[in-house]
Amino acid sequence: MKPKNFLISASLLICFLGIFIPASGSFNPKQQKSLDQWAIHDLERPLPPVVIPGPPLPPVPPPSDAVILFDGKNLFNWVDAKGQPARWKVENDYLEVVPKTRNIQTKHGFGSCQLHIEWMTPSPARGEGQDRGNSGVFLMGLYEVQVLDSYENKTYADGMAGAIYGQYPPLVNACRKPGEWQSYDIIFYAPKFDAEGKLLEPARMTVIHNGVLIHHNAELTGPTAHKARPPYKAHAAKLPLMLQDHSHPVRFRNIWLRELE
């Protein structure tokens, strides 16, 4: 192999390993340092730069080993937060939050996983800040990747679209316009606890928004919360995936995951 070709191959390999093998025990030092520096929902915390992603794509077909959670047809795999039948609207190939009908969650629990989910915020946009296209993807029902219309809509950095809510803003703002389909690909490693409930390993997340890396192996401080960073509390190895009813008619489609354990 020519030296130039070798260099190109080596750098491609490094990029690949860096992005797709997050559970190596390392974390993103830049992102981690920034957490210690800022209070929760700190309005002084700088907003990440805007990156214009590529154009919206048709639904990304799931691979053969995926668990299909929503294929556009029904809410068979979901219940509401009280275990009652989920009442969100299913239309065409998507489901839509029906305000005040409660969060919905999967009937089955999951731990570490690779999750693909597509979402769209309402168009025309209404409201400002957190009151605009707000929902959320909660891994294990506890660890939220924020869904929000962050297209030309300012809010606190750790609560914008793609934020690990209250902890880490996305590395960049890769939001599409309201009314356009967007995607999250989330590589989530569940926290581990010993038999006494002591934390052995924190949860970690790598997130790709519309094909753009927005978290690289971020180490979570505990469950995500509003105006709080609560510590870890031991929980089951598998818990339902939850989507948030924040009273805005946000849409979701093509939801699938691959279990990583």
In this complex, which beta carbon is closest to Mg ion, that of residue 22 or of residue 243?
A: 243
Nearest to 114 by CA among 236, 4, 19: 19
The identity of residue 208, as a single letter, is I
Residues, the chain? 261
Taking the complex as a whole, the smallest distance from the CB of residue 126 to Mg ion amounts, in Å, to 16
Q: Which of 136, 141, 162, 178 contacts Mg ion by CB under 5 A? A: 136
- Taking the complex as a whole, the smallest distance from the CB of residue 27 to Mg ion amounts, in Å, to 24
DSSP sequence for 193-257 = E-TTS-EEE--EEEEEETTEEEEEEEE--SS-BTTB-PPP----S-EEEEE---SS--EEEEEEE
**Least distance CB 25 / Mg ion (angstroms):** 30
**Based on CB atoms, which residue is closest to Mg ion, 22 or 215?**
215
C-beta closer to Mg ion: residue 22 or 118: 118
Residues in region 216-255 near Mg ion by CB under 5 A: 244
Q: Give phi and psi for 195, each to the nearest 5.
A: -60, -25
Q: How many CB atoms lie within 10 A of CB 13?
A: 10
Q: Is 122 in the site for Mg ion (CB under 5 A)?
A: no
* Contact (CB, 8 A) for 26 and 204: no
Nearest residue (CB) to Mg ion, 146 versus 206? 146
> Which is nearer to Mg ion, 150 or 217 (by Cβ)?
150
Considering Cα of 76, then 81, then 86, then 91, what sign does the dihedral take?
A: negative
The number of residues that bind Mg ion (CB under 5 A) is 4
CA atoms 41, 43, 46, 49: torsion sign: positive
The residue range among 44-52, 86-94, 133-141, 194-202 that interacts with Mg ion, by the rule CB under 5 A, is 133-141
Phi, psi (5° rounding) for residue 99? Answer: -50, 140
Instruction: Choose one: 96-104, 141-149, 210-218, 230-238; the region binding Mg ion (CB under 5 A).
Output: 141-149
Q: How far is the CB of 103 from Mg ion (least distance, A)?
A: 10
Nearer to Mg ion, 136 or 170 (CB): 136
Point out the residue whose Cβ comes nearest to Mg ion.
136
Task: Specify the stretch interacting with Mg ion by CB under 5 A; choose among 37-45, 52-60, 72-80, 127-135.
Answer: 127-135
For residues 122 and 136, which CB has a smaller minimum distance to Mg ion in the complex? 136
Binding site residues, Mg ion, CB under 5 A = 134, 136, 146, 244
